[in-house]
Amino acid sequence: MNAKNKEHFADRAMAARAIKDSFIKLSPRTQMKNPVMFLVYVSSILTTALFVFALFGLRDENPGFILGITIILWLTVLFANFAEAIAEGRGKAQADSLRAARKDVAANKIPSPEEKEKITVVPSATLKKGDLVVVRAGEQIPADGDVIEGAASVDESAITGESAPVIRESGGDRSAVTGGTTVISDWLTIRVTSEEGESFLDKMIAMVEGADRKKTPNEIALQILLVALTIIFLLVTVSLYAYSLFSAGQAGIESPTSVTALVALLVCLAPTTIGALLSAIGIAGMSRLNQANVLAMSGRAIEAAGDVDILMLDKTGTITLGNRQACAFLPVDGASERELADAAQFASLADETPEGRSVVVLAKERFNIRQREMSDSDMEFVPFSAKTRMSGVNIGSVEIRKGAADTIREYVLKGGGKYSRECEEIVKKISNQGGTPLVVAKDLRVLGVIHLKDIIKQGIQEKFADLRRMGIKTIMITGDNPLTAAAIAAEAGVDDFLAEATPEGKLAMIRQFQSQGHLVAMTGDGTNDAPALAQADVAVAMNTGTQAAKEAGNMVDLDSSPTKLIEVVRIGKQLLMTRGSLTTFSIANDLAKYFAIIPALFIGLYPGLSALNIMGLQSPQSAIFSAIIYNALIIVALIPLALKGVRYREVSAGRLLSHNLLVYGLGGVIVPFAALKVIDVIITTLGIV
């Protein structure tokens, strides 16, 4: 393969590094970890020895033939090493840049939050759990920790790659900071939560580099199958040696099979294609996840993602845009729509929330009511408070209020006003449609209702339909009341919803699904999400979330995007599919190899067997060479597929299977027949054999 081809999945430097690594990986200790390739390794050593013996006259075959086989066997080993090395390459490059962020910095250690002046400057490596440090603008945060005092904007691009700074502040769900990130403005007091060597950054480096990559159960199970097949093929070739002696003895001729030819047959039959690419597939899956800016705490978690059949998704941000928008003014009790719009706009002037803005905008759009200067009259704004649960404005003696229906009702009735049945009905109707009603009152007279609507993200329905076809159920989690939730759920096309969700409710729901045999995935960020995250089979914690949430989850989403879960599932499935498809391909290949090698070996004994040489290969030697060359080249040819993963579509399991069987099963049977013929023609034309 030429350099131009490699650039499709790696750059030149990476390739150079991978080639170097391919040779380093020749150490027996590394080879032993992969039983199938270890067999090829041992076979290479064996034929090398046979070649040396042949030079000294102890001939198994003619030395040129043995040398040829030996070279190709060693290339096969190197190609497998290269596949693994190139897969590791991307992770290694990422790890290098992360290591740059992990440099030792000076930390401003303080004895207590009250004594911020008593700073002792210590190296960050010496910090212990529970130590307090102060970090000021421009300084790097020395270790993972929780913010206990202050608020600051932090540049986390070193780990997330996202250049826009994020806010970190004490208390709440945004208190976690990561060592290696930089404070841009203001200052923070941080309680250190992890020590040198076990920080988030350390874990991240280990993960992307695959240093402590453990084989997943699924990988082990596949390896068992491959080893079992290899053992069978070992017995097939050894017994074939015996059969050959026996049959030749019966015919009174010398046995036609040499050890070298049988070793070549063994290596061809053993599932070397998948054996060589197996670890590359696993590493590449992890790497794809990293590219999606998700960090898995184990390879197991990615595979579990492929199995997930329930997704619990937060409504806000995933299903709907983060904010609601006013979409209609519905006047009641004889008030005009314009009157209502006017009052609503007044009440929302000081309201900086997206909802408040949208009221102002809607009034402008519908009645061209211009935005008024807030300072020009004697307006006194009443901000929203948890106690009154209303907001509004007093203009002179005129009192305008807007708020939730029950709050306004209470306020109006208390003041001696009227709350009509018509208003009640409109409020109910909006709720039923999944909207949020805001009632507006002017001087204790109810003018009407603003319809705030959740905006469903574009294309989300199709996404859920795709998921359903794959057999994945989506559950919407929302704090809304059941009526609103049901309406949004219906519009977005989710399968079910959990309304008025509490952390306990989520946990109970996960447990219930799991007891029915489902595998549940969820995302979460808050500390109170931690129990549910710990319970879920796949739990993606937001990087913006708390330390507790991050520890409870088995993946961290550095982008903190709630839709990431769908991406994670896709990567998990793709990983397993790649493994299965290449295994099928590898085993299906054996048929053609048999048709090449068996007639080649026994044509002298039973000339009739030449009928099995359906590819019409030129000579027994060229047949064996073609098979073994194909066997080596197919590894290289499939490296891009192993790294990118097989194409994944959102269809049912049955359709996915028939498609992949057709491509990799049938393709695996046909491709080698054609390829062997081509190689045979090339090597005989070039006069190599």
Q: Which of 80, 201, 284, 576 binds another protein (CB under 8 A)?
A: 576
CA atoms within 13 A on the CB side of 260: 27
CA atoms within 13 A on the CB side of 258: 21
Supply the angle between the helices 272-291 and 620-644 in degrees, to the nearest 10. 20
Residue keyed to tokens 């130590």:
131
Cβ distance 360 to 349 under 8 Å? yes
Q: Binding of another protein at residue 580 (CB under 8 A)?
A: yes
Q: Binding of another protein at residue 79 (CB under 8 A)?
A: no
Interface pattern 472-491 for another protein (x via CB under 8 A):
xx------------------
Q: Binding of another protein at residue 384 (CB under 8 A)?
A: no
Residues 251-270 that bind another protein (CB under 8 A): 251, 269
d(CA 410, CA 680): 90
* Number of residues in the chain: 689
Residue 18 CB, nearest approach to another protein (Å) = 26
Q: Binding of another protein at residue 648 (CB under 8 A)?
A: yes
Tokens of 524: 């979460």
Query: Residue 52 or residue 242: which is nearer to another protein going by CB?
Result: 242
Q: Which of 32, 232, 374, 490 binds another protein (CB under 8 A)?
A: 232
Region near another protein per CB under 8 A, out of 328-336, 354-362, 454-462, 468-476: 468-476
Q: Which of 2, 250, 458, 685 binds another protein (CB under 8 A)?
A: 250
Residue 203 CB, nearest approach to another protein (Å) = 25
Query: Residue 32 or residue 251: which is nearer to another protein going by CB?
Result: 251
Q: Binding of another protein at residue 579 (CB under 8 A)?
A: yes
CA dihedral 185, 191, 197, 199 (to 10 degrees): -60
Q: Where are the beta strands (DSSP E) in 193-336?
A: 294-296, 310-314, 320-331
Tokens of 318: 């995933």
Q: Binding of another protein at residue 469 (CB under 8 A)?
A: yes
Residue 220 CB, nearest approach to another protein (Å) = 4
Q: Binding of another protein at residue 247 (CB under 8 A)?
A: yes
Residue 543 CB, nearest approach to another protein (Å) = 26
Neighbouring residues of 320: CB distance < 8 A, sequence distance ≥ 6: 454, 455, 456, 457, 488, 492
Interface pattern 597-636 for another protein (x via CB under 8 A):
-x---x--xxxxx-xx------------------------
> For the chain, how big is the Rg over CA atoms in Å?
34
Neighbouring residues of 114: CB distance < 8 A, sequence distance ≥ 6: none
Q: Binding of another protein at residue 458 (CB under 8 A)?
A: no
Residue 219 CB, nearest approach to another protein (Å) = 9
Residue 599 CB, nearest approach to another protein (Å) = 8
Interface pattern 296-325 for another protein (x via CB under 8 A):
-------xx-xx-x----------------
Cβ distance 480 to 315 under 8 Å? yes
Region near another protein per CB under 8 A, out of 136-144, 148-156, 182-190, 566-574: 566-574
Q: Which of 79, 200, 233, 497 binds another protein (CB under 8 A)?
A: 233
Residue keyed to tokens 């390794």:
41
Q: Which of 111, 246, 512, 678 binds another protein (CB under 8 A)?
A: 246
d(CA 112, CA 157): 30
Query: Residue 216 or residue 358: which is nearer to another protein going by CB?
Result: 216
Q: Binding of another protein at residue 217 (CB under 8 A)?
A: yes
Region near another protein per CB under 8 A, out of 25-33, 89-97, 371-379, 652-660: 652-660
Q: Binding of another protein at residue 662 (CB under 8 A)?
A: no
d(CA 150, CA 182): 15
Tokens of 139: 């300084």
Q: Binding of another protein at residue 653 (CB under 8 A)?
A: yes
Distance from the Cα of residue 93 to its chain's centroid: 19
CA atoms within 13 A on the CB side of 484: 22
Strand 555-557 and strand 538-542: pairing?
A: parallel
Distance from the Cα of residue 324 to its chain's centroid: 30
Query: Residue 320 or residue 581: which is nearer to another protein going by CB?
Result: 581
Q: Binding of another protein at residue 464 (CB under 8 A)?
A: no
Site size toward another protein (CB under 8 A) is: 79
Residues 90-109 that bind another protein (CB under 8 A): none
Asked if 314 is an active-site residue, the reply is yes
Region near another protein per CB under 8 A, out of 192-200, 351-359, 402-410, 648-656: 648-656
Residue keyed to tokens 């959990």:
498
Q: What are phi and psi of 509, to 5 degrees?
A: -65, -45
**Region of 383 on the Ramachandran plot (φ > 0 left; ψ -120 to 50 alpha; else beta):** beta
Q: Which of 236, 259, 534, 681 binds another protein (CB under 8 A)?
A: 236
Residue keyed to tokens 């076990």:
198
d(CA 142, CA 131): 11
d(CA 256, CA 233): 19
**Secondary structure string (H, E, C) spanning 421-461:** HHHHHHHHHHHHCCCEEEEEEECCEEEEEEEEEEEECCCHH
Single out the catalytic residue among 131, 155, 202, 314. Answer: 314
Q: Binding of another protein at residue 673 (CB under 8 A)?
A: no
Q: Binding of another protein at residue 292 (CB under 8 A)?
A: no
Residues 499-558 that bind another protein (CB under 8 A): 516-519
Q: Binding of another protein at residue 371 (CB under 8 A)?
A: no
Region near another protein per CB under 8 A, out of 317-325, 435-443, 464-472, 628-636: 464-472
Q: What are phi and psi of 211, to 5 degrees?
A: -65, -45
Q: Which of 24, 137, 167, 225 binds another protein (CB under 8 A)?
A: 225
Tokens of 55: 């030079």
Residue 36 CB, nearest approach to another protein (Å) = 14
Residues assigned a catalytic role: 314
